[in-house]
Chain A
Amino acid sequence: MTTHHHSDSSELSAEAMNEYVSVRIGDQLFGAPVDQIREVFAPQSVTHVPLAPDEVAGLLNLRGRIVTAIDARRRLGLTPREKTETGMALGVERGNEIFGLIVDSVGEVLRRPRAELEPVPAHVDARWRSMVKGVHRLEKELLAVLDVSAVIGTAARKNEAA
């Protein structure tokens, strides 16, 4: 699933590099900035929360802490996962809360030169543009850099407005 990339080497200086956890959501490869991810875990026994906003996949117990699982597919407006697919979760801490961003799968950590980050093309869907900070051109495909706060945060804000 993950893209191996030869430029993931040390020939470029560390300051100019961005590090991403590569994840797949639907058909698209995304990168979540490493410094924003607390941990990666396999979500187990997610409790469905009736009446919750769509993007809230449920709650789960992560070593005694309650994690709100956010379904990335729903946030990005993609078709929902099959019930049988549990996916993987990126643990993100915001304030005192931990969120689990549920993605299809998690690949390796990618390092890309900061200078190569390109803005999101203007004709991309507005919802995506609000959650994608930029794009890296990899050899075989594009890596969309996730704005993790936007994916988690707007969930809360949007819900508040509702």
Chain B
Amino acid sequence: MDDLISEFLTETAESLDVIDTELVRFENNPDDRAILDNIFRLLHTVKGTCGFLGLPRLEAVAHAGETLLGKFRDGELTVSPPMVTLVLQAIDQIKVLLEALEATGQEPAGEDAELIARLEDAAMGRLEDTADEAEAATPENWDNDLGRELRPGEVSLADLEAAFQNADVDADSDPAAQETPAAAEVEHLGAGDFDPELGRELRPGEVSAAELEAAFMSAEVDPANDPNAGKESLITADMSKEEALQTAVAQLKGSEDAGAGEGGPRVQQTVRVTVDVLEGLMTTVSELVLTRNQLMQTIRGMEDDELKGPLQRLSAVTGELQDGVMKTRMQPIGDAWRKLPRIVRDVSTDLGKKIELVMEGQDTELDRQVLELIKDPLTHMVRNSADHGLETPAERAKAGKPEKGTIKLAAYHEGGHIIISIADDGKGLDTRRIGEKALEKGLTTHEELERMTDAQIHRFIFSAGFSTAAKVTNLSGRGVGMDVVRTNIEQIGGVIDVSSTTGRGSHFSIKIPLTLAIVSALIVGCDEQRFAIPQLAVRELVRVGAGSEHTVEKLHGARVMRLRDRLMPIVDLHDVLGVGEAYGGGEDEAAFVVVLDAGGRNVGLVVDNVLDTEEIVVKPLSESLRNVSAYSGATILGDGSVIMILDPNGLAGEIVSALEEDAAYDLSSATVTELDQQTQRLLLVRAGGEEPKAVPLALVTRLEEFDPATIETTNGRQVVQYRGRLMPIVPLSSEIRSVEGQRQPVLVFAENHTAIGLAVDQIVDVVEERVDLQMSSDKQGVIGSAIIKGKATDVVDIAWYLDQSRAGDIQRRSTSRRRKVLLVDADAFARRMIAPLLAAAGYDVTPAGGLHEVKVIAEAGETFDALVGDPGGIDRIRKEGFWPDLPALGVTDWPDDTPADGLTAVLPRSDRGALIAALDQFSHEEKVA
């Protein structure tokens, strides 16, 4: 293709994108002259260049659009959305023509009479009335159609076009002549403040743009019509052309908007370089960096001072060069957002919504490769927000929200990553619908779904196969194609998450690396070979075996590891890659488990050893290796050897089916908060008031919903048929307040093979928070209060309510002596939860947080009937030799996976009944014996 044409295409595409954005801005601020001036100038440049290159079809469309814009400028027409839509259609048509031009190198045949006619009609104030002006008027006879005296601006425009043509001929016929007129003009203007340097740089099109500005400005000076007369009065009609031009250029230079447009004078010197050149440069620099590293490694052992100086210099220069080249690859994220205002505008016009798009941090820079890859997902998500997230003005008004919805797009740097957030204040995700859909797709089961929090259910929108194209339109909530978005983001090593509040909106956040070219990686060894794992995916490293407290255990053949009270699935890299011997888990056999974030899940990867961390240059794989999902690329290490980069998501794919059930669970713990022993998962409910109440989730066996009609009253107690038995139901507030037609949410507590229900008004959420419980004894049924999600929240005393439920039951047999229990748990919250339960069951409880406290108690000569607590704590007490003969009951979230060594029994934390039953049994037995 002609160089000139391709240059034109690149430049025009940029200009058109700016026009798109600016038009949307203009629509909202119709009085802002600066915006209109900018649009006008850009479009004029496009038109002028089309004329110059001999592209009549493009020129005609541009001209018609420009004419309509001219009417806005002149204040003859007021800006209205249909008008702007029309101009945008003209811009779209220009884009279509440009695409054809790019594809074929030729302007496509045909004409755009209909569009031009509509533009012209609009320009004459007959927007709706297109029928009687069906005949396509050419720009030349438009003046005649107008049927009135031409205004000075229009004349100038025509003149100007003629001037262009002349200038073009000059430029074409005599290259030397191109310099001469410009120089002459500068000479001519030299008397004023005109910058001669600038004058030299101006291309013919730019000069004429300025001239056009001047001409228009002089045409505009009609103080009666022009609201900006004061501002524009710099140029008056009686100024000489030179003076006007000079002032106009000065204004353009001074105006910030001038710099934004391609047509404006270039203040900043730039050179266009193809991306290929930059990529090549990057590759070369990467190699230089690697060679430098190699050299540094070689020299490290030597005591050669002569080499050290120059080498250090080389190292520094290489670093600078690398930074410099990296910078050339950086682009502001605003480039990827440029199309968004237009998209949002179109959606809002189509759907009759009022939407404001707020963009923050447009200047945040990231690698252009990353930018390219996130462009589509971002566009998709913003479109989703506008389309499905935000409500219509009527709906919003009804919900008590401002009619205009807001979509807020923000980007910022955070620790070597970029965080992009897309938030809207719409209706939020439709939890129920997503849940139904997840069931329909077989992504979860009813039981699991009932136990899930809203946040966990929301994450289903990212699940593969959640949305199918056929169903996109009738999904009333969000989540259209979000699995694709997630895949795209994960491909570049990013992470996506969502949070949503019904009625308040949703918030997507994306975390992506700054660049894909160089990443920090962990180098691990496996079967004599080395592999790199991107640091971004590595959560932590755990040593297993050979004296480490962690071990890899087997659960029906599947490997798992206990990590802070959770079971984490384990894959062995040996098995995944089919090399060497898998880690056997023997006592003297040591290995490392790399805890990976794979698609939001924690997965442990067993490797032989961890060697190093290194900044690596990611090289793409050849086609024959690209579909081996275990790898994301290859790299060359400092010593020159090639190693493979493991793809955490690909590795996780190996065991993904086994993990699917755990997905939401793990994801929530990973994203809501860092894994922390001190955090508690609390169920927030509402009962008898607006303020939330908290129930420790570990104590709740199930969440159920019952039809209020099925709740019966017998003997003054409320019961419901549940799994073939009658389950008593106690209200958490003073009474069960069922709403007709709504299902009654009930928390079910398993109690020694019977179940007891606690009725609440509403289940609000599950939070995972560090809980600082303030004890209080004045309120019945309340253990204390804690600050949860920034609000003081009562923590419910389950034991009290459960006793209430048994009010009519046979009382627990009274014991002759209150038996004493030592409660050991490092977790203060667990102590506080379990202690009242045991106390309520008739035990004297002494809580102890750690070995130190236990020692103090032991040295005081205290005796107990039983030990209760976390298995680790009991184990340590046993090792110290305290109370060796006491029955010990381990209480844990993972009873099935806790070895019962030294423990009388291991019980699930959630089953209070079983704990008390066991305690009754064992402490009694011990006494008898």
Interface residues of A (CB under 8 A from B): 45, 47-53, 55-56, 58-61, 63-66, 68, 70, 97, 99, 155-156, 159-160, 162
A-side contacts of B631, CB under 8 Å: 49, 51
Interface residues of B (CB under 8 A from A): 283, 286-287, 290-291, 529, 577-579, 619, 621-625, 627-628, 630-631, 634, 636, 640-644
**Whole-angstrom distance from the CB of A68 to the nearest CB of chain B?**
4
- Bound-complex Cα distance A64 to B623 (A): 19
Query: Are A51 and B622 in touch, CB under 8 angstroms?
Result: no
- Bound-complex Cα distance A26 to B634 (A): 30
- Bound-complex Cα distance A18 to B773 (A): 87
Known: A155-B624, A156-B623. A61 touches B643 (CB 8 A): no
**Whole-angstrom distance from the CB of A52 to the nearest CB of chain B?**
6
B-side contacts of A159, CB under 8 Å: 623-625, 627
Query: Are A51 and B577 in touch, CB under 8 angstroms?
Result: yes
Q: Which of A48, A51, A65, A160 has the most CB of B within 10 A?
A: A51
Query: Are B623 and A47 in touch, CB under 8 angstroms?
Result: no
Q: Which of A47, A99, A155 has the most CB of B within 10 A?
A: A47
Query: Are B625 and A52 in touch, CB under 8 angstroms?
Result: yes
Query: Are B624 and A52 in touch, CB under 8 angstroms?
Result: yes
A-side contacts of B622, CB under 8 Å: 68, 97, 99, 156
- Bound-complex Cα distance A61 to B290 (A): 11
B-side contacts of A53, CB under 8 Å: 624-625
Which one of B529, B627, B636 contacts A66 once the chains associate, using CB atoms below 8 Å?
A: B636
Q: Which residue of A lies closest to B288 (CB)?
A: A64
Q: Which residue of A lies closest to B577 (CB)?
A: A50
Query: Are B625 and A50 in touch, CB under 8 angstroms?
Result: no
- Bound-complex Cα distance A152 to B546 (A): 47
Known: A52-B625, A68-B624. A47 touches B641 (CB 8 A): yes
Known: A61-B636, A66-B619. A156 touches B578 (CB 8 A): no
Q: Which residue of A lies closest to B287 (CB)?
A: A64
- Bound-complex Cα distance A51 to B625 (A): 9
A-side contacts of B643, CB under 8 Å: 47
Known: A45-B641, A47-B641, A50-B577. A68 touches B625 (CB 8 A): yes
Q: Which residue of A lies closest to B276 (CB)?
A: A96
Given contacts A58-B642, A70-B624, 13 further A-B contacts (CB under 8 A): A47-B644, A49-B625, A50-B577, A50-B579, A52-B628, A61-B636, A61-B641, A64-B287, A68-B621, A68-B624, A156-B623, A156-B624, A159-B624
Query: Are B628 and A97 in touch, CB under 8 angstroms?
Result: no
B-side contacts of A97, CB under 8 Å: 622-623
- Bound-complex Cα distance A59 to B641 (A): 9
- Bound-complex Cα distance A55 to B283 (A): 27
Which one of B529, B630, B640 contacts A61 once the chains associate, using CB atoms below 8 Å?
A: B640
**Whole-angstrom distance from the CB of B321 to the nearest CB of chain A?**
15
Which one of B628, B642, B644 contacts A60 once the chains associate, using CB atoms below 8 Å?
A: B642
Query: Are B628 and A64 in touch, CB under 8 angstroms?
Result: no
- Bound-complex Cα distance A12 to B152 (A): 79
Query: Are B290 and A64 in touch, CB under 8 angstroms?
Result: yes
Q: Which residue of B lies closest to A50 (CB)?
A: B577
Query: Are B578 and A50 in touch, CB under 8 angstroms?
Result: yes
B-side contacts of A162, CB under 8 Å: 627
- Bound-complex Cα distance A120 to B640 (A): 42
Q: Which residue of A lies closest to B633 (CB)?
A: A66
Q: Which of A58, A159, A160 has the most CB of B within 10 A?
A: A159
Which one of B287, B621, B627 contacts A160 once the chains associate, using CB atoms below 8 Å?
A: B627
Known: A64-B290, A66-B634. A47 touches B627 (CB 8 A): no
Query: Are B623 and A160 in touch, CB under 8 angstroms?
Result: yes
A-side contacts of B291, CB under 8 Å: 64
- Bound-complex Cα distance A99 to B623 (A): 11
Which 9 pairs between the two chains have the least Cβ-Cβ distance? A64-B287, A50-B577, A156-B623, A68-B622, A59-B642, A47-B642, A156-B624, A159-B624, A51-B628
Q: Which residue of B lies closest to A47 (CB)?
A: B642
- Bound-complex Cα distance A51 to B640 (A): 23
Q: Which residue of B lies closest to A158 (CB)?
A: B624
Q: Which residue of B lies closest to A70 (CB)?
A: B624
**Whole-angstrom distance from the CB of B262 to the nearest CB of chain A?**
31
- Bound-complex Cα distance A139 to B690 (A): 99
B-side contacts of A63, CB under 8 Å: 287
**Whole-angstrom distance from the CB of B195 to the nearest CB of chain A?**
45
**Whole-angstrom distance from the CB of A48 to the nearest CB of chain B?**
7
- Bound-complex Cα distance A97 to B579 (A): 27
Known: A68-B622, A156-B622, A156-B623. A47 touches B529 (CB 8 A): yes
**Whole-angstrom distance from the CB of B391 to the nearest CB of chain A?**
46
**Whole-angstrom distance from the CB of B685 to the nearest CB of chain A?**
49
Query: Are A61 and B642 in touch, CB under 8 angstroms?
Result: yes
Q: Which residue of B lies closest to A63 (CB)?
A: B287
**Whole-angstrom distance from the CB of A94 to the nearest CB of chain B?**
9
Query: Are B529 and A48 in touch, CB under 8 angstroms?
Result: yes
B-side contacts of A45, CB under 8 Å: 640-642
B-side contacts of A50, CB under 8 Å: 529, 577-579, 630
Q: Which residue of A lies closest to B574 (CB)?
A: A50
B-side contacts of A58, CB under 8 Å: 642
Which one of A51, A59, A155, A160 contacts B630 once the chains associate, using CB atoms below 8 Å?
A: A51
Q: 25 A-B Cβ contacts within 8 A?
A: A45-B640, A49-B644, A50-B529, A51-B577, A51-B628, A51-B631, A52-B625, A53-B624, A53-B625, A56-B625, A59-B644, A60-B642, A61-B636, A61-B640, A63-B287, A64-B283, A64-B286, A64-B287, A64-B290, A66-B619, A66-B636, A68-B625, A156-B622, A156-B623, A156-B624
Query: Are A56 and B624 in touch, CB under 8 angstroms?
Result: yes
B-side contacts of A60, CB under 8 Å: 642
**Whole-angstrom distance from the CB of B616 to the nearest CB of chain A?**
12
**Whole-angstrom distance from the CB of A64 to the nearest CB of chain B?**
3
Q: Which residue of B lies closest to A95 (CB)?
A: B623
Known: A52-B628, A53-B624, A160-B623. A59 touches B529 (CB 8 A): no
**Whole-angstrom distance from the CB of A97 to the nearest CB of chain B?**
5
- Bound-complex Cα distance A60 to B624 (A): 15
- Bound-complex Cα distance A97 to B529 (A): 24
**Whole-angstrom distance from the CB of B518 to the nearest CB of chain A?**
14
Q: Which residue of A lies closest to B573 (CB)?
A: A50
Q: Which residue of A lies closest to B637 (CB)?
A: A61
- Bound-complex Cα distance A53 to B627 (A): 10
**Whole-angstrom distance from the CB of A49 to the nearest CB of chain B?**
6
Q: Which of A56, A59, A159 has the most CB of B within 10 A?
A: A59
**Whole-angstrom distance from the CB of B290 to the nearest CB of chain A?**
6
A-side contacts of B577, CB under 8 Å: 50-51
A-side contacts of B619, CB under 8 Å: 66
B-side contacts of A68, CB under 8 Å: 621-622, 624-625
Q: Which residue of B lies closest to A153 (CB)?
A: B623
**Whole-angstrom distance from the CB of A98 to the nearest CB of chain B?**
9
- Bound-complex Cα distance A45 to B643 (A): 11
**Whole-angstrom distance from the CB of B825 to the nearest CB of chain A?**
45
Q: Which of A45, A50, A53, A160 has the most CB of B within 10 A?
A: A50
- Bound-complex Cα distance A56 to B290 (A): 25
A-side contacts of B625, CB under 8 Å: 49, 52-53, 56, 68, 159
Query: Are B642 and A66 in touch, CB under 8 angstroms?
Result: yes
A-side contacts of B628, CB under 8 Å: 49, 51-52
Q: Which residue of A lies closest to B526 (CB)?
A: A50
- Bound-complex Cα distance A162 to B290 (A): 35
- Bound-complex Cα distance A64 to B577 (A): 26
- Bound-complex Cα distance A19 to B229 (A): 80
B-side contacts of A66, CB under 8 Å: 619, 634, 636, 642
A-side contacts of B286, CB under 8 Å: 64
A-side contacts of B624, CB under 8 Å: 52-53, 55-56, 68, 70, 155-156, 159
- Bound-complex Cα distance A50 to B795 (A): 54
B-side contacts of A47, CB under 8 Å: 529, 634, 641-644
**Whole-angstrom distance from the CB of B209 to the nearest CB of chain A?**
41
**Whole-angstrom distance from the CB of A37 to the nearest CB of chain B?**
18
**Whole-angstrom distance from the CB of A130 to the nearest CB of chain B?**
17
- Bound-complex Cα distance A81 to B322 (A): 41
Q: Which residue of A lies closest to B619 (CB)?
A: A66
